[in-house]
Amino acid sequence: MSSNVVDLEAFVALPDHARLLGLDLGTKTIGLALSDLERQIATPLETIKRVKFSLDAVALLKVADKYAVAGLVIGLPLNMDGTEGPRVQSTRAFVRNLVPLTSLPMVFWDERMSTLAVTRTLLDADASRAKRAAVVDKMAAAYILQGALDRLMRMEPDEPAQD
């Protein structure tokens, strides 16, 4: 792809106190989640209604700019057996088209089970169907981003001991 589509290890070198933006790319919406400045907690942010790529990209990059995002974590909807189907191809095409529009580093993150896990949580919370529909995409983005943040925390070298 491109030099700004990287492995998660590259995110360890991002500047301190820079947020990450998680994306759950659906056919009708893009769920967004934002990390805190310490990159430990993912919070559902908003949902972008998809129109066409150019408008979707502008809306996405506007959010990234507003929150001074240092990188994008993009959910990769692999099949349950790990193979790539049409949804993965669509996600990769979106990223391929986004790459020339930004210098932000991007990483794919396996999103299998994210929507299912979020939907179960919402059902357990007795959320109505309308409420679930309104929040599931941004919550799935938070689930995706939290997975990447947890992995990043395990990758970072431990702080040196203070005397």
Mean pLDDT for back-to-back runs of 10 residues, the chain (163 residues): 82 92 94 96 95 97 97 90 87 96 95 68 66 72 93 73 49
Q: Cα 52–110–65 angle (5° rounding)?
A: 50
Supply the pLDDT for residue 130.
Answer: 63
Give Rg (Cα) of the chain.
16
125 CB neighbour count, 10 Å cutoff? 9
Supply the pLDDT for residue 1.
Answer: 47
pTM: 0.85
Supply the pLDDT for residue 161.
Answer: 47
H or E segment to which residue 61 belongs: helix 53-66
Supply the pLDDT for residue 122.
Answer: 62
Which residues have CB under 8 Å from 127's CB, separation 6+? Answer: 135
In 68-128, which ranges are continuous DSSP H helix?
Answer: 86-98, 114-124
Q: Cα 12–83–76 angle (5° rounding)?
A: 40
User: How many angstroms separate the CA atoms of 7 and 40, rounded?
Assistant: 18
From the DSSP assignment, how many helices (H) and strands (E) are in the chain? Answer: 4, 5
Supply the pLDDT for residue 80.
Answer: 80
Supply the pLDDT for residue 62.
Answer: 98
User: How many angstroms separate the CA atoms of 89 and 29, rounded?
Assistant: 17
User: How many angstroms separate the CA atoms of 146 and 45, rounded?
Assistant: 13
